[in-house]
Structures are given as C-alpha cells and as structure tokens.
Amino acid sequence: MPEFEWQFTLVLLTNGVMIGLMYALIALGFVLIYKATDAINFAQGEFVMFAGFIAAGAADLAGAPFWLSALLSISGMVLLGFGLERVVLRPLIGRPVIAVVMATIGLAAVLRGSATLAFGGGTRAIVMPVGDEPIALGAVMLPPVQLVGAAVSIAFLAAFSWFFLKSRIGIAMRAVADSQQVAMAMGIDVRRYFALAWAMAGVVSALGGVVWGAMLGVDNQLALVGLKVFPVVILGGLDSIIGAVVGGLIVGIVENLAAGYLDPYVGGGTKDFAPYILMIAALMVRPEGIFGRRRIERV
Amino acid sequence: MLALNNIEVVYDGVILVLKGVSLVAEEGRITTLLGANGAGKTTTLKAISGLLHSERGQVTKGIVELDGERLDRLPAPDVVRHGVTQVFEGRRVFENLTVEENLVAGAHTRSDFASVRDGIERVYDAFPVLRERRHNQSGYLSGGEQQMLVIGRALMSDPKVILLDEPSLGLAPLLVEEIFGIIRRLRDERNLTVLLVEQNAALALDIADHGYVMENGRIVLEGPAETLRQNSDIKEFYLGLNEVGTRKSYRDVKHYKRRKRWLS
C-alpha cells in the first residue's frame, strides 16, 4: 500500500499538467470548429494521427529534418482543412447537426484508412532533436519531449486566445459563431470564416500530431488521443478556449492521479476511464461546461 | 437613390412572395414601407441586401439599383460594400460580444483601422449610452440600448442607405420616440437614406418623407407621407381612425365593414 508522499503526488501533478496542456492543444482544434461553424468534429483524433503520419513519413521516407517535416505537416493539414471544408462540410451547411456528425465520423474512417494505405501499418517515430536525457524541474524529472510539447501548447493556446479576443479577424469569427445571418448582413463572408476555422484546426492538429507522435510513436493508435478531447471539451465548455485549457488540465491531472492512487488497488485501468466518469458527472451538473456560454434568457 | 423595379421573389422555387414590387428611396430622405404581418416587407429588405440566398429565396425578376448600379444578384458582403446595410428586426446584437466588439464587427468591410476607430467614436457621440457600456457584453444590455447598438453597428460600414426593420418593436413608447429622433437626426446630419419598415403606421408616417403600403406582396398605395396620413383608407386600416378623424369604436366595426378601395 503506497504511503502518501508529497513528492510522488508532485510528480503525478506535474505530469498531469504537462499531458493536460497537450490535451488542451488538441481540444483547441475541436473548439475552433465548434465555435465558428457549430459542427462537432468527430475526426479530431484522426486529424492528429494524419498530421503525425505526414511528419513521420516526411522524415522516414524523404529524410527531411525535424523542423522541415513539422512544417510540412502543418501546411499539409492546412490544405486538408481547407479541402475538407470545401468538399465535405460546405454542402452540409444548414443541414441537421446529425448529418455533419455522421460526415465527420465517415471522414475519420477515411483518414484512418488512407493513412495506413499511404504510410503502411507499422509504427513510425518522430524524433525531436532535443535528446532523451530527462530534465530536472525542481524535484521532478521530465522527458524533454514532454517539456517541448507543453511549451508549444502554451505558446499556441496564448496565441489563439489573443487572436480571438483582440484581432479583427478573431472578432469577426466570434460574430459568425454568434449569428451567421447577422454576420452576413455586416458584410462578413461567412463561408470564408468557416474555411479559416477548419484550416486553423488543421494547424493545431498538426502541432498535436507532432508532439504526441514524438511521445507515443505514429500509428493508427494515435487517433485514440482524440477520444480524450470529449471529456476535455465537455468539462471546459464546447466553445471556450480557456475552457479547453482548464478542461485539459483537469483531465490530465485526474488521469495521472487515478493512475498513481487508484490503479495499484484495482490492478490498473482507472486511468483510462476516470476522465469519462468526470465527463458524465459534468453533463448532469453543468452541461454547458465550466466556461461554456449559456443562452442569455431575457425575462 | 435606391430603386426597386418590378422585383419578384420566389421562396423554395415555388412560393411567390413578392409579386412585382417597385419603389424608390430618395437620397437623404426617410421612406417608409407599411403593411400588415406577412405582407412582404422584410422580404423586400432582404431582396435588397442580398440575404435571401441564406433562406432559399431568390429574386427571379426585376432590378435593384443604387445610383444606377445593379445590386440584385450580388452576394450580401458586396451589397454592404456598395453602401447598403440592413438592420434586422428584433435587435439582433452579437450577444456574446461586447458593445465595442459589435461595432468592430460592423466595420468588417472597412480595412483602414484609423477610420474604424473614428467610426466607433462617431457612434459613441450619437449614442452616449453605448460609450458607458462599451465593455459590457451586449446580450445583457436593455432593449433600447440594444436597438441603439444595432443601428450604430450598421453605421460602422459607413452606408449610404440603411434598411431599418421595425425598430419600434417591443420598446416602450418613450424609447421609441428617442430611437425615431435619432433616425431623423441621421437623415439630417449625415444625409443618410433610410428605408424604414414599420407596423406602427402612425409613428412611421410621422417621421417619413414618403410612404408605400404593401399587401400580399404588392405595393397597393404610394405617396408623400403627408398625403398618406390624410388618406381615408390608411386612417381606417392603419391608423385606427374613422372618417371624421376620431378614434374608432369597436361597436361601429360590427355594423359596417369598410372595403379597402385598392382591392377592386
């Protein structure tokens, strides 16, 4: 029976925060699309996987250096985002939500299949040029890959927050999310902003694919990371960037605490479902999430 | 000058909503479009602003012109760029945005940031309440403030023509008076062309220079506001007055049902 040790807890918490930030990055892709277009993207995990494959493939097959393969992955995912919006999502504008949901589920299968088709079924590696030697952060030793992942996450979460809150394009995007018809009447080309949202989700997925791919290796299993997006966004709020960060941190920490304190008693496995129990509880208590917007009701 | 010539609008490919509407809104004048629910007033505005596409409507015939330039068949953002902005009924603010962000979004078609800042200041000068509330989330403003915000937001695109849909809807009489005072001032100070859709005929004819009456997708009556105010059919059916000009009693309605003269 493990004694309570502050250092063990600290390790779990630090790990939770690091992983949580990286969940937040992936969840951000989901939030961007939901915020701007009201579409629920069930293919977010496959986006991440596909991006990982592009990066790993470029390095493995063409011998590209890390930075180049990351850049290739980002530009590839931007193109994919634009393309999917144009070909698959745009014709579905105005259709029931379920049509979009089913389309993205179909898309997920297509992406999984075509990644295997193009890059083979084996696991590929993404090698970050940062070494393997753990770095001491106070009393906690952390692998450099995780630190880079967390740093990238913080940088881009901050950048996207600024973009949405302060830039004119960000304000226009929020206006589109608020009411498409009124936005159109203001001269905002709604379809352009839909495309932009998908492209931005592509960027975020590419970053997620590279950092998660570097940690876990790239194969079909990488798409499973996307499933963690759901507890993150339900907890934080489907349409909130801050919510994605907080939700990501909660999920990361809960997961690690469950792994550290519950798994030894029950023989493992709680790590994988603890966030979902939290999600179900959140749906009952606060369905719009911690930072999600509530409908303003006038009385 | 905004001119509609024989506009026909069809929804869903089969439902004929506007059956040949022609009207003119003179520059620097307030033109009002009156009519009951479902007469086609809002559809007329959407036919001008290019917003029919989003609801499966289509201008199938006729021409919309602003100072000689064709506006029909242009997508909505281009119509705004040509200087025509619509204000929806029901105070449709971007609820989750602050007052100032609403204004910034309204200036979307203007690229020069300095002129946007300038426009915001001008709106605040016209509506001092909005300056006080600039950082408040607009969904929580009062009804009157929201109506001011949507008008201010429309001004941000620096329009020549503004299409106002029922600005009096659901507002207290005192507020309505204030809003209408502002509309009049915009005409006088900025030489703004206003096309005003209203159900409240008495109010609209009071500030308008010219008026049209719509029924069943057609214009049935037209004239200077002063003439329309004196028209006995308008008095009877829109102002609720009888021939002598006194308020109508419901007892009389039972006895004698007047027939609208334009339904011959």
Clarify whether residues B225 and B235 are in a common domain.
no
3-state helix, strand, coil in chain A (%, to 5): 75, 5, 20
Q: How far is A172 from chain B (nearest CA, A)?
A: 5
In the structure, what pLDDT confidence band is assigned to residue A178 with cuts at 50, 70 and 90?
confident
Q: At what angle do helices A190-216 and A66-84 cross, to 10 degrees?
A: 140
Q: Tell me if A241 is assigned to some domain.
A: no
Clarify whether residues B182 and B237 are in a common domain.
no
Host domain of residue B252? 231-264
Q: Tell me if A234 is assigned to some domain.
A: no
Tell me if B23 sits within 8 A of B222, measured CB to CB. Answer: yes
Task: Tell me how crowded residue B172 is: count the other CB atoms within 10 A of its CB.
Answer: 12
In this complex, is the C-beta atom of B101 within 8 Å of any C-beta atom belonging to chain A?
yes
Calpha distance A112→A47 (Å, rounded)? 9
Q: Which of A177, A179, A189 sits opposite B77 (nearest CB)?
A: A189
pLDDT in tens, A119-154: 888 888 888 888 788 888 777 888 888 899 999 999
Q: For A238, what's the count of Cα atoms within 13 Å in the CB-facing half-sphere?
A: 15
Summary mean pLDDT of chain A: 89
Clarify whether residues B158 and B237 are in a common domain.
no
Clarify whether residues B236 and B175 are in a common domain.
no
Q: Tell me if A243 is assigned to some domain.
A: no
Report the share of chain A in percent with pLDDT over 90.
51
Number of domains in chain A: 1
- Optimal mutation site among B49, B74, B96, interface A, most CBs of chain A within 10 A: B96
Clarify whether residues B239 and B207 are in a common domain.
no
Q: Tell me if A250 is assigned to some domain.
A: no
> Predicted ipTM?
0.86
Calpha distance A184→A172 (Å, rounded)? 10
Name the 3-class secondary structure at B162: strand
Q: Tell me if A184 is assigned to some domain.
A: yes
Residues of chain B scoring pLDDT < 70: 240-259, 262-264
Clarify whether residues B194 and B243 are in a common domain.
no
Cβ-based neighbours of A2, under 8 Å, separated by 6 or more: A8, A260, A261, A264
The pLDDT assigned to A4 comes to: 64
Going from the C-alpha of B263 to that of each of B109, B199, B213, the distances in angstroms are 44, 20, 13
Q: Which residues of A touch B97 (CB under 8 A)?
A: 171, 174-175, 178
Host domain of residue A114? 16-226
Give the CATH number of the domain where residue B185 resides.
3.40.50.300
Name the 3-class secondary structure at B246: coil
Calpha distance A96→A104 (Å, rounded)? 13
Q: How far is A114 from chain B (nearest CA, A)?
A: 35
**Record: contact B94-A174, CB cut-off 8 A:** yes
Clarify whether residues B74 and B202 are in a common domain.
yes
Q: What is the DSSP string of A76-120?
A: HHHHHHHHHIIIIIGGGTTS-HHHHHHHHHHHHHHHHHHHHHHH-
**Record: contact B108-A172, CB cut-off 8 A:** yes
Q: Which residues of A touch B117 (CB under 8 A)?
A: none
Q: Tell me if A138 is assigned to some domain.
A: yes
Distance, CA of B203 to chain centre:
13
Residue B63 host element (H or E): strand B57-66
Q: How do B69-70 and B2-11 pair as beta strands?
A: unpaired
**Record: contact A175-B105, CB cut-off 8 A:** yes
- The mean pLDDT of A64-75, rounded to a whole number, is 92
Number of domains in chain B: 2
Which chain B residue has its CA at the smallest distance from A293's CA? B96
Clarify whether residues B83 and B170 are in a common domain.
yes
Calpha distance A279→A290 (Å, rounded)? 12
